[in-house]
A and B are shown apart, each in its own frame.
Chain A
Amino acid sequence: MEHLTIDIAHVLAGALVLTSFMLLYQDRLSGLINIYTLHAVILSMSVAWQAYYQDAPHLYVTAAIAAIFKALIIPFSLRRIIERLGVHRTVEVVGGVGITMLIGIFLVALSLVVMLPATASADPLAREDIAFALAIVLLGLLMMVTRRNAVSQIIGFMSLENGLILAAAGAKGMPLVVEISVAFSILIAFIVIGIFLFRIRERFDNVDLFELDRARGERP
C-alpha cells in the first residue's frame, strides 16, 4: 500500500513534468492554454493526493484553489484575452524545437542530480516531488526565455508557479497562509500582466515582444 501511494504521487508529479514538456513544444496559443489547463488539473490532483497521503486537510484547500483558479478562471480569462486581442489563431514561430527539448531534458536531469543528494535525509515522497518541482520551475523559465509572445510568456510563468506549489505541497508543515498568499499574488500578477497586454496592444497593435524592443529604439 505504501509503495502504491508513493508511486501514484510520482506518476502525478511525472505527468506534470511531461505536461511542461508539452507546453514547451506547443506553438499554437489556444492549444497552449488547453495544455496549461491540463497542467493545473494535474497539479490539483497531485496536491489532493498529497493531502490524502499526509492526512492534512488544509492541502485539500490548496488543491481546490489550484483547481478553481488555475484550471478554470485563468484559462478562461486567457482565452477571452487572446480572442479580444485577435491572436487566438496565431501560430508562434518557435525556432529550434528539437534543441529546446534537448535543453529541457538536460534541465530535468540536472534537477534530479542536484536535488536527490541534497535531500537525502528527507521523506522519499518529498524527495522525488521536490526534484520534479525544480524541473518544472526550470522548464517554465526555459519557456519564458524561448518564447517571444507575451501570452505564452505568461503561461510559462504560471507553469513555473505550479512547480512551486508542487514543492510546497510536498514539504510537510507548510502553512496554508503561505499557499493562499502565493495563489493570490499569482492572480494579481496575472491581472497586472493582462492589463499591460492590452495597453501594449493599444499602442503597438501587437503583443510580440519584438515590437516593444523596436519601440525602445534598439532594433531597426
Chain B
Amino acid sequence: MPLYLALTCISALLAVGVYAIVDRRNPDISRNVYRLCIALCSILFLAAAMPRGANVLSTTLPFGLPWLGMHFRIDVLSAFFLAVVNLGGAAASAYAIGYGAHEKEPMRVLPFYPAFLAGMNMVVLADDAFSFLVAWEFMSLASWALVLTHHHDAENRRAGFVYLLMASFGGFALLMAFGVLGGIEGAYDFASIRESTKEGWKTGLVLALALVGMGSKAGLAPLHIWLPLAHPAAPSHVSALMSGVMTKVAIYGFIRVVFDLLGPPAFWWSIEPLTFGAASALIGVLFATIQSDLKKLLAYSTIENIGVIFIALGLALAFKANGLALPAALAFTAALFHVFNHSLFKSLLFFGAGAVLGGSGERNIERLGGLIHSMPKTAFLFLGGCVAISALPPLNGFVSEWMVFQAILLSPSLPQWTVKLLVPAVGVALALSAALGAGCYIRAYGVAFLGRPRSDSARTAKDPDRWSIGAMAALLTLCLLAGLLPSLVIDTISPAARDFVGGRMPTQAELSWLSIAPVAESRSSYNGLLVFIFILFSAYSARWVIHKFGSTRSRRAPAWDCGYIETSPTTQYTGSSFAQPIRRTLGVIAFSVKERLDMPAPGDIRAARLNVEIKDRIFDYLYAPLTRAVETCASSLNILSLLTIQEYLALVFAALVFLLVLVAI
C-alpha cells in the first residue's frame, strides 16, 4: 500500500510538471505548482512513515525493458531516504512559494522542479539497475536544467556544462558498475544481483566504480568541482534541494550498492571511503573558510559534510567486515543521522542565503554586514542553522558528529593494522574539519549579519515573506527537536542498521531522561535536553544578574572610532581578513594562493592594491591535464577529417589488410 501510494505520488509529480507547461499563462501558476509539490511531498513523507506490514514491499510495473519491467521496492533504508527527500522537498516547495514569486523566467524552473523531485523519489524506490539508472539520469538532467535557469550569465552556463560533464561521467561509471554486477547473463534486477556470487576482482571494481559514480554526484573530493559552480547558479530553493537532498540520494545509492548488493564486505573496502571522506572533509572546510560568496561557501561546506558521512560509512564497513555488529551499527546509524541532519540544516542555510540574496541582491559577504538589524528574523534563523552545522550542542549536528567520533574511538578493536592506523588519522582530520567548520560559520555569520552594513543594499535589505520564514522556522524547529530528542531518530534508524550491518544500537528510548548512549551507559552518554536546559538556565540567570546589578539606562551611540574622524564601514574587519590566517598558513599546501602587493612608487598617488589569486590544486593537477589530454587527442584526430580521397581509401585499405592479416594469423 505505501509503495503504490508513493508511485502514484511520483507520477502525480510528473503530471504537475506537465501542468506547469500547459497552464503557463496563468499568473498564479508558480504558487499552484509549489502548493501541489508541498501536498505531494507530504503524502510521500507519510507513505515513508506509514507502517508497512511486511518489512519489504516490492512490485514490478510492465514498463521499461520488455524482459525486465520496472521493479520498485521499499524497505527500511528506502523509507528513511524517502522521508529525507520529501521533508527537504516539502520545505523547499514551501520556501519557493514566496521566493519563486520573484523569478523572472518562471517557466525555466516550474516544469523541471517537480520532475526533479520525482526523479529523486524514483531513485530511492528503484529495485533494478535499469530503473535506477533511468531515474538517476532523470534526476541529473532535471537538476541540470534547473542550474541553467539563469542561462544568460556566462558563468552559469559554464557551471551547467561542468555539472553535465561530471553527471555524465558519474552516470557512465554507474552503468559500468551495474554492468559488472549484472554479469554476462544480464540479471539486472537487484534481487538476482544480491543472490549472485561475486569474485574478488569484481567487488573491487564495483566498489571503485560506485565510489566514483555516486561520489561525483555527492561531491566527494576530488569529484566535487561542480558543486561550488552549480549551487550558486541555481535558484536558492533548488540549491537547497541539490545540496541538502540530491547529495543524500547519491549516498543512498552508495549504501544500496556497497552494503546491500555487493554482499558481505572485506575489510579493505573501508579504505577508499575513509580516505576520500577525510580528504573531502578537509578540502571542503578549507575552501569554505576562505570563500566570500555565501552560496559557494555553503556548497564547499556540503562537501565537508559528505566527507563526514563517507567516513562514517567507511567505519561501518570496516566494523561489519570484522563482525563487530554493535560498532558497525553505531557508525551506520551515525551516517544516516548525519544524512538527516545535514539535509535539514543545509536546506535551512541555503534558504537563508536565498533570503539574503532576495532581500539585498548580494551573495558576496564582503558587501553585506549588519543584516541583523535589517533582516532580524532571517538573522535569527540563519544563526540557528550555523549553530547546528557547526556541531554545537544542543542542536542536532552535534549528536551525529559525536556519534561518528564515538565510532572512531572504537576503532582499536579492529584487527587489521591498515585500518587501525588509518582510522585515527581520519579522526584527526575529522576533528580539524569540525573545528574549522565552526570557524567558517562564525566568519560567515559575523561578517554578513553583524557589524555595520558595507553597502546600501545591505542597509535596506528586507526579511522575506511569511512562507519563506515559515519554511526556515520549521526546519530550525526540526533541528532543535532532533538535537533534543536524538533517541527518537536513532530508534527510527536502528532497523536499517539491523538489516544492513547486522546489528543495532541499544534501544535508546529505554534510557531515562531522553539521554543517548551509543555503546553502553557506563562508557559515554549524551543528553541534549540537559544541555539545553543548562544553556537556557545559565543564559537567563546571567541576563538577570546583569539587569539586576548593572545600569538600567541604555543608550545607542556610535562605536568608538579610536579618535579618527571618519570611519567608513569598509574599515571593518572583512571576511577576507578573517580568512587570512588560514590562507597564509595553509595557502601553499592546500590552495596554491598567490598574493601580489602592488605598491605605487613614492610620490605616486595611486592606491596600493593587494591581489590574491586562489586556485584549486585539484583543478590544476587533475582536471587541467585531463582536459588537455582530451583536447590533444581530439585535435590530433581532427586531421582525419581533412584527408584527400586517396588517403581515405588508403585508410580503409590498410584497415582491411590489417584485419585480414589478423585472420590469417
A→B interface (CB under 8 Å): 107, 110-111, 113-114, 118, 138, 141-142, 144-145, 147-148, 209, 212-213, 218
Asked if A212 and B645 make an inter-chain contact with CB atoms under 8 angstroms apart, the answer reads: yes
Contacts A110-B664, A138-B657, A145-B653 aside, 8 further interface pairs with beta carbons under 8 A come to A114-B660, A118-B663, A138-B656, A141-B652, A141-B653, A142-B653, A144-B653, A145-B649
- Of A110, A147, A209, which one neighbours B657 at CB under 8 angstroms? A110
B583 to chain A, nearest CB (A): 52
The A/B interface has a contact count, at CB < 8 Å, of 35
Q: Considering the complex, give the chain B residue whose CB is closest to the CB of A217.
A: B642
Would B645 and A209 count as touching, CB distance under 8 A?
yes
Determine the residue in chain A with the shortest Cβ distance to B650.
A145
- Give complex CA distance A113, B665 in Å: 9
Shortest CB distance A107–B (Å) = 7
Q: In the complex, what distance in Å separates the CA atom of A145 from the CA atom of B654?
A: 10
Residues of A close to B653: CB separation below 8 A: 141-142, 144-145
Instruction: Tell me the bound Cα distance from A138 to B642 in angstroms.
Output: 25
With A141-B656, A212-B645: A110-B661 Cβ-Cβ less than 8 Å: yes
A209 and B646 form a contact (CB under 8 A): yes
Chain B residues whose C-beta falls within 8 Å of the C-beta of A114 in the assembled complex: 660, 663-664
In the assembled complex, the Cα of A141 lies from the Cα of B660 at a distance in Å of: 14
Q: For the complex, what is the distance from the CA of A145 to the CA of B660, rounded to whole Å? A: 18
Q: Chain A: which residue is nearest B661 at the CB level?
A: A110
Q: Are A148 and B646 in contact (CB under 8 A)?
A: yes
Q: Which residues between 383 and 429 of chain B lie within 8 Å of chain A, taking CB atoms?
A: none
Q: How many residues of B contact A (CB 8 A)?
A: 14
Helix, strand, loop or mixed for chain A's interface? helix
- The answer to whether the Cβ of B512 comes within 8 Å of any Cβ in the partner chain is no
The 7 closest A-B pairs by CB, nearest first: A113-B664, A145-B650, A114-B664, A141-B653, A145-B649, A213-B644, A114-B663
Q: What separation, in Å, do the CA atoms of A212 and B661 have in the docked complex? A: 33
Q: What is the CB-to-nearest-CB distance from A148 to chain B, in angstroms, rounded to a whole number?
A: 7
Min CB–CB distance A92 → chain B (angstroms): 13
> CA A213 – CA B644 in complex, angstroms?
6
Contacting residues, chain B, for A147 (C-beta < 8 A): 646
Chain A residues within 8 Å of B652, by CB: 141
Most buried by B among A111, A142, A145, A148: A145
Q: For residue B421, give the distance in angstroms from its CB to the closest CB of chain A.
A: 59
Q: For residue B645, which residues in chain A have a CB less than 8 angstroms away from its CB?
A: 209, 212
Q: A91 to B664, alpha carbons, bound, how many Å?
A: 37
Contacts of B644 in A (CB 8 A): 209, 212-213, 218
Question: Which residues 624-665 of B have a CB within 8 angstroms of A?
Answer: 642, 644-646, 649-650, 652-653, 656-657, 660-661, 663-664
Name 9 A/B residue pairs within 8 A (Cβ), A-sorted: A110-B661, A114-B663, A114-B664, A118-B663, A141-B653, A145-B649, A209-B644, A218-B642, A218-B644
Name B645's closest neighbour in chain A (CB-CB): A209
Assembled-state Cα–Cα distance A168/B25 (Å) = 67
Kindly supply a per-residue 1/0 record for chain B positions 504-535, scoring 1 wherever the CB is within 8 Å of any chain A CB and 0 otherwise. 00000000000000000000000000000000
Closest CB in chain A relative to B237 CB, distance in Å: 53
Shortest distance in angstroms between A61's beta carbon and chain B's nearest beta carbon?
31
A127 smallest CB distance to B (angstroms)? 16
